C-alpha cells in the first residue's frame, strides 16, 4: 500500500537516486559501523546504507512506517520520537553487544524540518556518544549552522554548534529530489564532534548567547552588557559590538569567566 506523507510529521521522502548516491558517498559507511538513522521513512537512504553496513538501527515515529521497516531483516527499529531517545544509553547498548568499550555512534538522517533545531540540541546533550553526524536539513538552517561571524546568518545556532562540532555543508539538494517536493532548498551537513572542546557550562553559554542575540541589531551593551552587570562580571568584554561580530571562542571564553 502506498504511504501518504503526513504533514504533522513533516514528511518529504527522498526520491532522487543521484542525490541518494551522493549522500551515501559523503557518509562513507563501512561494514559493521555502529550507525543510527533518524527518520528512515520509505527507506530510500536506509537500503543503500544497510547494504554497506550489514545492519542498521533506525528511529521512526510513524507507526505505519515502523511496521513496514520491521519486516526488513537487517534493521533494528526503535519506534519513538527521537527527542525521547537516550542516545547515550543506545551507544552503551552497542558497546555491550559488540564488546567495544570506546565505541561511538554514527548518526544520519533526513530530519523533519519542523523540529530540526530541537533534534540538533537534543543530540548535543549526547555528543560524547557520537562519532559523527550527517543530516539533510533545510538549506537555510545549515547556512546558519556553518555561518562565519559578521554575516547575517551567524547567530545562536552557529555559536552553540560550532563550539562543539567541526561542520561542513557537503551537498545541495533541490526540492524536486523529494516526494512531495518541499517549498525550500535542502542541503546535507557533516558534523564531527571536536575532540578537545573548551570546557564550559553549556546552560550558561546557551543563556549568554540567547541574551546576546535577543536584539541583534543593537550594540551588546544594551543586552549582554546589562546581563554581565547583573551578574557583577569581574572581567572585561567589549560590548561596543553587535552580537554577530563576536567569534565563537570569545563567547566560550566569556562563559568560562562569567
Rounded to two decimals, what is the model's pTM?
0.91
C-alpha cell at 221: 551593551
pLDDT of residue 11: 57
Average pLDDT over residues 155-164: 97
Residue 39 annotated in ligand binding? yes
Average pLDDT over residues 52-80: 96
Q: Round the average pLDDT of the chain to a whole number and report it.
A: 94
Residue 14 annotated in ligand binding? yes
Residue 12 annotated in ligand binding? yes
**pLDDT, tens only, 185-219:** 999 999 999 999 999 999 999 999 999 999 999 99
Q: Of 12-21, 54-63, 187-196, 209-218, where does mean pLDDT reach its minimum? A: 12-21
pLDDT > 70: percent of the chain: 95
pLDDT of residue 182: 86
Element (H, E) at 151: none
Residue 110 annotated in ligand binding? yes
pLDDT of residue 3: 45
Let me know: does 72 contact 43? Beta carbons within 8 Å. yes
Average pLDDT over residues 170-193: 94
Q: Domains plus CATH for the chain?
A: 7-193 (3.40.50.150), 202-257 (1.10.8.100)
| Sheet of strand 165-173: strand arrangement | 75-79, 56-60, 35-38, 105-110, 130-138, 186-193, 165-173
Amino acid at each position: 500500500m502506498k504511504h501518504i506523507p503526513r504533514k504533522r510529521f513533516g514528511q518529504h521522502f527522498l526520491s532522487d537516486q543521484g542525490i541518494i548516491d551522493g549522500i551515501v558517498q559523503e557518509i562513507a559507511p563501512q561494514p559493521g559501523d555502529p550507525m543510527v538513522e533518524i527518520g528512515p521513512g520509505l527507506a530510500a537512504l536506509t537500503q543503500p546504507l544497510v547494504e554497506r553496513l550489514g545492519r542498521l538501527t533506525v528511529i521512526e515515529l510513524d507507526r505505519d512506517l515502523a511496521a513496514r521497516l520491521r519486516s526488513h531483516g537487517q534493521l533494528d527499529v526503535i519506534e519513538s520520537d527521537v527527542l525521547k531517545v537516550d542516545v547515550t544509553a543506545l551507544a552503551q547498548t552497542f558497546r555491550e553487544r559488540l564488546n567495544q568499550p570506546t565505541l561511538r555512534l554514527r548518526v544520519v538522517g533526513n530530519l523533519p524540518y519542523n523540529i530540526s533545531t530541537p533534534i540538533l540540541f537534543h543530540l548535543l546533550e549526547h555528543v560524547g556518544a557520537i562519532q559523527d553526524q550527517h543530516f539533510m536539513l533545510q538549506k537555510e538552517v545549515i547556512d546558519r549552522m556553518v555561518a562565519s561571524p559578521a554575516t547575517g546568518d551567524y547567530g545562536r545556532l552557529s555559536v552553540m554548534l560550532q563550539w562543539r562540532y567541526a561542520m561542513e555543508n557537503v551537498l545541495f539538494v533541490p526540492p524536486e529530489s523529494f516526494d512531495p517536493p518541499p517549498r525550500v532548498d535542502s542541503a546535507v551537513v557533516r558534523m564531527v564532534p571536536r575532540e578537545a572542546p573548551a570546557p564550559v557550562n553549556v546552560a550558561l553559554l546557551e543563556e549568554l548567547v540567547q541574551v546576546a542575540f535577543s536584539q541583534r541589531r543593537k550594540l551588546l551593551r544594551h543586552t549582554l552588557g546589562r546581563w554581565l552587570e547583573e551578574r557583577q562580571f569581574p572581567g572585561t568584554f567589549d560590548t561596543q559590538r553587535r552580537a554577530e561580530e563576536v567569534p565563537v571562542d570569545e563567547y566560550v571564553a566569556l562563559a568560562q569567566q562569567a
